[in-house]
Amino acid sequence: MFESTTPFTHPSAPYKAYSQHSYRQIPQVSHLSQEDLDAIDIVSTVLPFKVNSYVVNELIDWSNIPDDPIYTLTFPRREMLEPEHYARMERLVRGGASAAEIKAAAMEIRQDLNPHPAGQRLNIPEHDGTPLPGIQHKYRETVLFFPTQGQTCHAYCTFCFRWPQFVGMNDVKFAMKETDLLVGYLRDNRHVTDVLFTGGDPMIMKTSILASYIDPLLSDDLSNVQTIRIGTKALGYWPYRFTTDSDAPELLELFRRVVASGRNLSIMAHFNHPVELQTPAVREAVRGLRSVGVQIRTQSPLLKNINNHPEIWAEMWRQQVNMNMIPYYMFVERDTGSKSFFEVPLVEAWNIFRDAYQHVSGVCRTVRGPSMSATPGKVQILGVSEIAGEKVFTLRFIQGRNPDWVARPFFAKFDPKAMWLDQLQPAFGETEFFFEPELADILQQSTDPQP
C-alpha cells in the first residue's frame, strides 16, 4: 500500500455539491446581485450547473465577481446563452411556465447548440454486430471508454463540450458498463495500444468500481494495451480524491499496480487557470500520484474570459513543470454549447500560444497547440505565413481518422474572423483540402444502411 512521506492535507470543509436547485445555500452567493442570480436560474435550465465546496471555498475569489476566472468556469452567466435563447427561457421562467414547458424549450435550444461536435457519433464501433455506445474509436491506436458510473463530475465546467452527458439527453449520451465487451473489442483490435477512460469524470467513481474496469486490462492476453489514460478534472476540482477520501489509499494502490504491470498510466489532467495549481491540497495530490509512478499530462482549451492571455499560459505551464507534470495540449474551444462566450479567432489563439511559448524554457515546450479536435482529426495551427504573395494559415494533423493524414502540412486562406476548421477555405486556388474526398467517403459509409 502507498504511504505518504508527508501528512495528507485535509479539506477545510466536508465535500458538498451544489446544483441549480441548491446553490443559494452557498453563503457567498448572498452577495451576488439579483442580475447574477437571475442568470444562474435561467441559464442552468439549459446548460448543466454543478459546483462543490472546494471550488467555492478554495478557488473562487468572491471579491472579483463576476470576473473571477473560476467563478466563470463554474457558474452560469447570462452571456453563455445566445440573446434570443436567454430571452425565451427568461419569459418562461418569469411567466410561471410549467416544468414540462421549460424542459421542452430547453431541449429545443440544446439541439441548436451542436450537442455532439466533431462527428463524435461516427466514432461508435461495433463488436460482433453489437454497437458499443460507451466506446469511441476515432484514432487507430486509441480507444475512449465511457464507464457508466463515471458520467458525472465533481463540478461542471461551463465550456464543457460533453455537456449533453449531464442534462438528460439520453439519446445522445455515451456510457457503458459491460467490461467484457470492452475487453472483447480490444482483443479483436490488436492495433489499439491506448485506452482512455473519460466521461464525465472517471474519478467520481469509487476505487472498487474503477478497479473492476481497469484490472481486466492488465491481463497477459491484452499485451497490446500499453497505456491506460484517465481524463479527469479531479486534481483541479477535488484533489482530496487522491489524498483524504476514504478509499484514496486503495486508489493509489490500484495505480501502483497498473504501473507495476509494465503499462504507462497517464492522468490527463484538466487545468484551466494557474489558480487551480496553488492550493496545498492539489500539490499534495500531485506528489502522491507521482510517488506511485503515475504520469500527469495537462491540457486545457483556450478560453475567452478565463485564460486568453499569454502570461496566464506561460505561468500555468511553468507551475505544472515545477510540480512534475507535463504540459500536453492547448485546445481551441469546440463549436458547441456556450462557444460564443468562450471562443477566440484562430489567429488570436495562435498569437497567444506563440507568445506564451516564447516565454518558457524548453522543458515546458512539450505542449502542442493550438489544436482543433474537429471531425477529420486533431488539427494544429502551425502559424500564419505568406507564400507566393498569399497570406495563409499553415496547418497539420496531430491525429487523423486516417493515420496517413498525420503530420502532413496543408494551407488555408488567412481569415482573421475564423473560429474553427470548417470556417477555413483552401489556399492557392484549391477547391478542397487534401483530406476532404476521403472524409466524405467516411461520412457516407457511416450513414449507409448496413447489409
What is the enclosing helix (H) or strand (E) of 129?
Answer: none
Percent of the chain beyond pLDDT 70?
A: 91
Helix axes 248-260, 280-291, angle to 10 degrees: 40
What is the percent of the chain with per-residue pLDDT over 90, rounded to a whole number? 80
Peptide bond into 216 cis (omega under 30): no
pLDDT at 348: 98
**pLDDT of residue 386 exceeding 50:** yes
Largest CA distance in the chain: 64
Task: Please give the pLDDT value at position 121.
Answer: 65
Structure confidence at residue 119 (pLDDT): 62
Provide the 3-class DSSP secondary structure of residue 104. Answer: helix
What's the pLDDT score for residue 7? 47
Q: With cut-offs at 50, 70 and 90, classify the pLDDT of residue 401.
A: very high
Mean pLDDT across the chain: 91
pLDDT confidence bin for 180, thresholds 50/70/90: confident
Q: What is the pLDDT of residue 9?
A: 55
Quote the pLDDT of residue 163.
Answer: 54
In this structure, what C-alpha cell is assigned to residue 17? 455539491
pLDDT bucket at 337, cuts 50 / 70 / 90: confident
User: pLDDT band at 368, cuts 50/70/90?
Assistant: very high
Quickly state the pLDDT bin for 2 (edges 50, 70, 90): very low
**67, three cell numbers:** 470576473
Listed residue (284, 266, 273) closest to 328, CA to CA: 266
Looking at residue 17, what is its pLDDT?
94
For 352-399, the DSSP string reads HHHHHHHTS-GGGTT-EEEEEE-SSEEEEEEEEEEETTEEEEEEEEEE
For residue 1, name the pLDDT band (cuts at 50, 70, 90): very low
Lowest mean pLDDT among 9-23, 216-230, 242-256, 343-357: 9-23
34-48, 231-245, 436-450: range with lowest mean pLDDT: 436-450
Tens of pLDDT, residues 284-318:
999 999 999 999 999 999 999 999 999 999 999 99
Which pLDDT band, with edges at 50, 70 and 90, does 419 fall under? very high
Under the banding of pLDDT at 50, 70 and 90, the label for residue 177 is low
- 70 vs 3, more confident: 70
User: What band does 11 get if pLDDT is binned at 50, 70 and 90?
Assistant: low
pLDDT at 190: 96
User: Which of 126-130, 140-144, 273-277, 374-378 has the weakest average pLDDT?
Assistant: 126-130
Instruction: Count the Cβ atoms, other than its own, within 10 Å of residue 167.
Output: 20
What are the backbone angles phi and psi of residue 378, rounded to the nearest 5°? -85, 115
Domain ranges of the chain: 17-111
For residue 280, is the peptide bond before it cis, meaning its omega torsion is within 30 degrees of 0?
Answer: no
pLDDT at 132: 84
In tens, the pLDDT along 97-119 reads 999 999 999 999 998 888 776 56
pTM of the entire structure? 0.91
- Give pLDDT, residue 57: 95
Inform me whether the pLDDT recorded for 220 exceeds 90. Answer: yes
Q: With b meaning 16 or more CB within 10 Å and e meaning fewer, what string describes 104-116? A: ebbeebbeebebb
Q: What is the reported pLDDT for 31?
A: 93
